[in-house]
Amino acid sequence: MKLETSRLILNGINESQTEDILKIRSNPEVNKFVKRVSPKTNYDALQFILTIKERVQNNQTVYWGISLKDRLNLIGTICLWNFSEDRKTAEVGYELLPEYHRQGIMSEALNAVLDFGFNDLHLQEIVAITNKINENSKGLLIKYDFILLEGKKDEGFPDNIIFSLKRPASNG
């Protein structure tokens, strides 16, 4: 499931990336808009990686670590998960270390993942949930023509808003 863009490699994650995952998922800036239990130790990060690997094997998620082509370490992650029962809808999730924000990196990664989701997985809709004050994330979604679903709620997370992108109509 490796994806490549002009600057990035998106690839599955593994145990050798425990420290990178710990760095990303425990970063206070990354977690500012995300309600989750952050890993505190390499062991916590390793448990997360093993959980993700199991979910990938069971086709519950498609999960990529993001790295720059000239470096091995991960700078972020992006995934398709929360698939509908008919596998026509999935949710996209992403995170990026703050020192790589505002460089078009997540835009490049998202573009590759949207292409994969619609063309390889034949999804009809990709949903994204973000915090209503996360301007970077909202801007990214709007850039890719995601539509804000007014009035749709993320149960238990009143600060979140939900966006949707329908499969582009084919010109056939």
Mean pLDDT value across residues 7-19: 97
Alpha-carbon gap, residue 57 to 85, rounded angstroms: 17
Question: Starting from the edge strand earliest in sequence, which strands make up the sheet with 160-166, in order?
Answer: 3-4, 8-11, 62-68, 76-81, 89-96, 125-131, 160-166, 147-148
Q: Nearest 5°: phi and psi at 153? A: -110, 145
CB neighbours of residue 87 within 10 Å = 12
**172 pLDDT above the threshold of 60:** no
Mean pLDDT value across residues 27-39: 89
**61 pLDDT above the threshold of 70:** yes
pLDDT digits (tens, 9 = 90+) for 111-120: 999 999 999 9
pTM for this prediction: 0.94
The fold for domain 2-166 equals Aminopeptidase (3.40.630)
Mean pLDDT value across residues 36-64: 95
